[in-house]
Structure 1
Amino acid sequence: MSKQTVSQLLQGRYHILQSLGVGVFGQIYIVEDVDYPERPRYVVKQLKVNNYQSDSYFDYLKLRFLTETETLKHLGQYDQIPQLITCFEEDDWFYLVQEYISGQPLSVELKQNQQQGCKWDTTAAMAFLEDALGILEFVHSQGFIHCDIKPENLILRSCDGKLVLIDFGSIQPIDFRIDTELLISQIPLSLLGYIPPEQFLGQTQPNSDIYALGIIALQGRFNRFNTSATKN
């Protein structure tokens, strides 16, 4: 998948500032909206809508993209989930524009702690769980399972230090059929260190997200988890 170039304008208004790498669907960028004097920043996800080797894989990616769009419309009103700004199609690409969260991924803090030999104490681990579980309580109460809980998808917001949950590209409804197998090829490789066994069997439940949070808490508390499993 080719990249758009920095400084390019999307839809004649979204000026690409920086590439954030590749996500579940494709390239992710930080952009600024030149239609406004204050030039607000957003995150843009990009999905190519043709040239896939398999029609079924294309249909899967497109479904996941549209699912994330609809999900953010519904869940983005929660303070710790990015709001959906808009979505559009341009030159055979789909684009999802969402709120930009100023901060750093939790993975950065965990990596720094590991390098410095630091560990969360019990108070810090409990604070993490309380904050993250509050987000999951809302997501689950709305009938969804995130399915991609990992440190890279938890942003420590600069303004208040609270967690913000991002990347809803793998979300599933809570009534996801247990006889429908979730193929390994459909699971982001970066997730494998945090995914519970039942998720590979298509038996994803709300507690699957909680399992992932538990792994993160153990990683922060004891620094014994192999973080290499979470690299993209």
Structure 2
Amino acid sequence: MSYCLNPHCPKPKNPDDVKFCRTCGSKLLLKERYRAIKPIGQGGFGKTFLAVDEDKPSKPRCVIKQFYPQAQGTNTIAKAVELFNQEAVQLDELGKHPQIPELLAYFTQEDRQYLVQEFIDGQNLAQELAHRGAFSETQIWQLLNDLLSVLQFCHARHIIHRDIKPENIILRESDRKLVLVDFGAAKSATGTALNQTGTSIGSPEYVAPEQMRGRAVFASDIYSLGATCINLLTVRSPFDSYDTNNGTWVWQQYLKTPVSNQLSRILNKMLESIPIRRYQTVDELLNDLNQQSQAAATPAISAKPLTTQPTSPPAVVPKTHSQIDLELEQMKTLFLGKAQPQNNNQNQPKTQSIQPSSKSQIDAELEELKAKYLGNNNTPNQ
């Protein structure tokens, strides 16, 4: 099927073997190669379509974003144009990362702007949450390890995503990697941009307080990622996991299964309302994560140093009669050496009431120990 991209077309569905819409006559192929199949999303600034690239033999799927602002007002439309252009620039720069969609084309056709990008086959995390239920602690650790490298890549190029949320993270079907999408709200942090108050953009549930005031920083993305994690753990809106009366997060109360103190501490630091108390950089957060994983992986220190790792436990070798005689003789010598005769000095305090055993008594006791040991040990004499 071909889908007409004319927003005013009353019957946009067409067969896939035609080049012009049978209802309104609009061209169905963008740049003579990209054919829309069906709409997959719509927002205030445009529509998104699943498409195929007719120019390639395999006809791979792709995504067409059509800029078509619904909002009214000159300032709003101007801002929409800026964001749409900005997304193309960001994707062109960032799309070489394997976990960010690649920009395939950016152009204007019939007075409408279009952006074509790589299609990521998979469900976003909001869909995964709806289908599979609350995430486990292990899944959250994996999410952090997988996504932080992507965020590190963006921040190293001075790009703040500004709209991290479950809907903008796709679990790619082919390799089960997480892909960060929708850079329409991304902002450059170069030059003086960090010190300028901008437009408040992003989903309110996941947006850091400073970003709500138009002052997004790198740590704002870290906050949004933390809010995403507690949504996935609790299956609740981050708004519902915050106690506004006391100004504290209470997400632990709504966990489906408890999580470790290590993960709680890291998420709470990611979610600090005051930016300076939060992780300032992805590197700082990654270092903390690595320390936690190393601590968890380090085994308890053994009493004796390990030399080699035998394939089976070492056999206990029974002792011979001569070895037993020798050890008992050593015990006898040691004991007699410590049992010094009592001094008859009258001035010495009488604190020692237990008299040492005589030599004959010691001999008798050692012979008794020897007999008991040999009685339990059936080893022949050597």
Alpha carbons 2:120, 2:172 under 8 Å: kept:
yes
Secondary structure of 2:67 counterpart: strand
1:164 paired with 2:184, answer: no
In the other structure, the counterpart of 1:209 is 221
Distance in 2 (alpha carbons) for counterparts of 1:149 and 1:52? 23
Aligned to 2:59: 39
| One of 125, 139, 142 as aligned partner of 2:140 | 125
Residue 105 of structure 1 corresponds to which residue in structure 2? 124
Work out whether residues 72 and 83 of structure 1, in 8 Å CA contact, stay in contact via their aligned partners in 2: yes
The TM-score, its normalising length taken from structure 1, stands at 0.85
Residues 207-227 of structure 1, C-alpha deviations (whole Å, 9 max, x = no match): 111111111111222323369
Q: State the secondary structure of the residue aligned to 1:101.
A: coil
Identity %: 36
2:212 is the counterpart of 1:193: no
Contact 1:147/1:171 (8 A) holds in 2:
yes
Q: Which deviates more, 54-63 or 136-145?
A: 54-63
1:13 to 2:33 alignment: yes
- Flag the 1:192–1:42 CA change in 2: closer, same or farther, 3 A: same
SS at structure 2 position matched to 1:104 = strand
1:53-78 deviation digits (Å, cap 9, x = unpaired): 42222221111111111111110000
**Cα 1:83/1:3, change in 2 over 3 Å:** farther
Residues 74-98 of structure 1 deviation map (CA, whole Å, 9 limit, x = unaligned): 1000010011111111111100011
Could you tell me how far apart the structure 2 residues matched to 1:162 and 1:129 are?
Answer: 12
Query: Take 2:44 and 2:147, find their aligned partners in 1: how far apart are those partners?
Result: 21
- 1:85, 1:97 within 8 Å by CA — same for their partners in 2? yes
Match of 1:28 in 2: 48
Partner of 1:54 in structure 2? 73
Q: Report the Cα distance in structure 2 between the residues aligned to 1:227 and 1:91, rounded to whole angstroms.
A: 43
In 2, Cα distance between the equivalents of 1:89 and 1:172?
23
Is the aligned partner of 1:154 residue 2:174? Answer: no
Question: Which residue is 2:301 aligned to?
Answer: none
Quick check: 1:25–1:45 contact (8 Å CA) kept in 2? no
Deviations 1:180-199 (A, max 9, x none): 2424xxx35xx121111110
Q: 1:207 to 1:133 in 2, by over 3 A?
A: same
Highest CA radius of gyration, 1 or 2? 2
Question: Which deviations, in whole Å up to 9, do the C-alpha atoms of 1:138-188 show, x marking residues without a partner?
Answer: 1011101000101111110011100111111011122434442424xxx35
TM-score, with length taken from structure 2? 0.53
Letter in 2 for 1:208: S
- Once the two structures are TM-superposed, the CA of residue 22 in structure 1 deviates from its matched residue by 1.1
Aligned pairs, number: 218
Aligned to 1:82: 101
Question: 1:193/1:3 Cα in 2 relative to 1: closer, same or farther (>3 Å)?
Answer: farther
CA distance 1:109–1:178, shift in 2 (3 Å): same
Between the aligned partners of 1:6 and 1:43, the Cα distance in structure 2 is 17
Instruction: Report 1 or 2 for greater relative contact order, CA contacts < 8 Å, sequence distance ≥ 6.
Output: 1
Residue segments in structure 1 that go unaligned for 5+ positions in a row: none
- Tell me, in whole angstroms, the C-alpha distance in 1 between the residues paired with 2:218 and 2:147: 14
1:96 aligned to which of 106, 115, 128: 115
Query: AA paired with 1:124?
Result: Q
Q: Which amino acid aligns with 2:144?
A: L
Pick the aligned partner of 1:173 from 146, 169, 188.
188
Once residues 55 and 212 of structure 1 are traced to their aligned partners in structure 2, the CA distance between those partners, rounded to angstroms, is 30
| Gap change, CA 1:166 and 1:3, over 3 Å in 2 | farther
Does 207-216 or 19-28 show the bigger shift? 19-28
CA offset digits 1:5-42 (Å, max 9, x no partner): 34433233211111111146310001112222211111
Specify which structure has the higher proportion of strand: 1
Name the amino acid aligned to 1:59: A
**Structure 2 unaligned spans of 5+:** 1-5, 15-27, 241-382
Of 158, 162, 182, the match for 2:199 = 182
- In structure 2, the CA distance between the partners of 1:162 and 1:207, relative to structure 1 (3 Å rule), is same
- Segment of structure 1 superposing worse, 23-32 or 79-88: 23-32
Task: Give the structure 2 partner of residue 141 of structure 1.
Answer: 156
Distance in 2 separating the partners of 1:131 and 1:62: 32
Q: CA deviation at 1:108?
A: 0.4
